[in-house]
A and B are shown apart, each in its own frame.
Chain A
Amino acid sequence: MNALIVVPTSTWYLLLSAVLFTIGTVGVLVRRNPLVMFMCIELMLNAVNLTFVTLGRRLNDINGQAIVFFVLVVAAAEVVVGLGIIVAIMRRRSGITVDDLAELKG
């Protein structure tokens, strides 16, 4: 029975965060709603946070976890700015997707 219990190693978490990062990347590339794209970017940042924590644990280095706080603050600031811009645009046009934003091209 004990042979079936697998203790997850740090590599598992690194792989998980790589998968989460990829999901975020694909999401930004294929989704068309700015809010969803924005959520995907946040997912990418949090995948990186998981990487930092895992590596900090693996290297036995507290810096890996300390960095996460900085990234969280940056992500929060990004939310403020991003939602501000999205709201400013949504007020002028409702139900917008990025395909509607096509005034700039050439």
Chain B
Amino acid sequence: MMSKLIAATSTFEGPAIQWFKISPILALLGGALLLILVGSLTPQWKRGWYATASVVTATTAAVLTGVLWNQMSDDKSSTLVGGAISFDHFSLFATFAICVAVVLVSLVANDYLVREGEDGPEVYGLMLTAAIGGVVMASANDLLVLFLGLETLSLSFYLLTASNRRRMQSGEAGLKYFILGGFASAFFLYGVALLFGASGTTNLQSMATVFSTEVNISGSNGLLLAGIALMLVGFAFKVSLVPFHVWTPDVYQGAPTPVTALMGSVGKVAAFSALIRVFMIALPSRIDDWRPAILVLALLTLVVGSLLAVVQTDVKRMLAYSSISHAGFILVGLEAAAHIGHADSHLGISSAMGYLFIYSILVIGTFAVVSVVAGAGDAATSLDAFKGLGKKRPVLALGMTVLLLAQAGVPLTSGFVAKFGIIRAAVSVESYALAVAAMLAAVIAAFLYLRIMVSMWLSDPADDAPVVVSKSVGLAITLAVVATLLIGILPGLLLGVSQTIGF
């Protein structure tokens, strides 16, 4: 028996691995290992060096992604590592968005950690592992690989959320996130198990083949529907769709502000990419079963997210609810993409991905300003803390105004491009109810952003506590504002790229 096994292993051939095509993941992994291993064995590095290592790693990964993107134009999308990872424009775009987000968040985190006196390699290492998880999720072609990516991302986020040991709120948020995140992961995994039972595979493409050829196998149908439902619940928790959003405000408020920015950017990009890929690739033959669910979730998320955002008094909570409302917009894109067979259904995926990219830059810029204003201990995050920012720090307040206007979707900012793309996609597939709901939600949410702006410009400062803007966070905010205006004025820059995304 044993000798048979050994004989079997000696003839075992692993799948061919095209190393260069997974180089963005490898680059991130290298950076993460360097920071965690070398960082913990060597004495404290000079100020800013940990952040520099993280920025260099993520930039390298982004550049590699760009190179791969250029090569893509001549060869078609394929799968790597024995069908576990897919290699297409969709996954490369998501990878690029995640790398850009990590670069910006590293700059913000540098300022935060130095200010809190907690500069060290752990936070950056965990950010990079979160990015690896995100990239794996966004490019997984197998539900099991997707689950592993999801857990890599989530476990890093739990630790990052609880990483400030001096603040009780950080630990509380970490525990809440951990319990609810683990709960959601279990639902997701149960969904994977049932889909495996219904199809006999976890590979997305094989699953699609099975489901399209054997439409109504008795017995498997129940497994399939329950599997779709459970997986959707798991995803809905992760991307915080109403009514699975209850953890979001608490976690966004309690987590260190740069970590909140990372959750709003990397977390959203990864989870939404995975959601779109699974439903569009593995389950297109069951669209009549899941599209209504997506429609209802999108409606609820848009309306409830915007309404609850308006009544908050803490800026981080406001932005958490606003991120829920933004998630509703992205879901409208998925709903539009789900009108398979309609001539314009391809607009759905590209507009959703464009929205994710634009939103992740906006959310990092906004939380960078919140981090600066909150000051030592992340203490001052109430709306009052923003009073008179226009008098104290006019340039900073101007940057924040641009970012908030963009989140509200004002023309000449990137937010308008994003919202226009989504609503156009919804209208062109005749999904009018959602398009109207999305516009209404945008109007309601605009009130919230105006509240912050009014507080910044029209009130006198409540105190004369100085607002310190260090170089690194200043650079992050500047980059975010420039990108916001650039995409807003020249939308072709992004649309030319995002239009090619599809399956």
Contact = CB atoms under 8 A, between A and B. Distances in A.
Interface of A: 14, 21, 24-25, 28, 34, 37-38, 41, 44-45, 47-48, 51-52, 55, 58-59, 61, 63-64, 67, 70-71, 74, 77-78, 81-82, 84-86, 88-89, 92, 98, 101, 103-106
Contacts, number: 111
A41 B186 contact: yes
A92 B151 contact: no
A85 B196 contact: no
Contacts of A28: 179, 183
Contacts of B313: 106
Closest 7 CB pairs of A and B: A44-B186, A55-B197, A104-B250, A41-B182, A51-B193, A89-B171, A101-B172
A7 to B, nearest CB: 19
Given A89-B175, A106-B249, A41 B183 contact: yes
Contacts of A88: 162, 165, 171, 174
B317 interface: yes
A51 B190 contact: yes
Contacts of A64: 196
B171 A92 contact: yes
Given A77-B155, A103-B168, A21 B162 contact: no
Contacts of A81: 155, 158-159, 178
A13 B368 CA distance: 51
Given A55-B197, A98-B175, 19 more contacts: A41-B179, A44-B183, A44-B187, A45-B186, A48-B189, A48-B193, A51-B197, A59-B200, A70-B147, A70-B148, A78-B151, A78-B155, A81-B159, A85-B159, A98-B179, A101-B175, A104-B169, A104-B249, A106-B313
Interface residues of B, number: 41
5 contacts: A25-B183, A77-B155, A82-B158, A85-B175, A104-B176
Nearest to A86: B175
Contacts of A58: 197
A45 B171 CA distance: 24
Main secondary structure of the interface of B (DSSP, over half): helix
Interface string B250-268: 1001100000000000000
A81 B288 CA distance: 39
Given A34-B175, A55-B193, A84-B159, A74 B253 contact: no
Contact of A101 (B148, B176, B183): B176
B304 interface: no
B232 to A, nearest CB: 16
Contacts of A47: 190
Given A24-B186, A104-B169, A105-B250, A70 B175 contact: no
B202 interface: yes
Contacts of B249: 104, 106
A61 B200 contact: yes
A58 B196 CA distance: 11
Interface string B38-53: 0000000000000000
A78 B202 CA distance: 23
A21 B148 contact: no
Interface string B77-91: 000000000000000
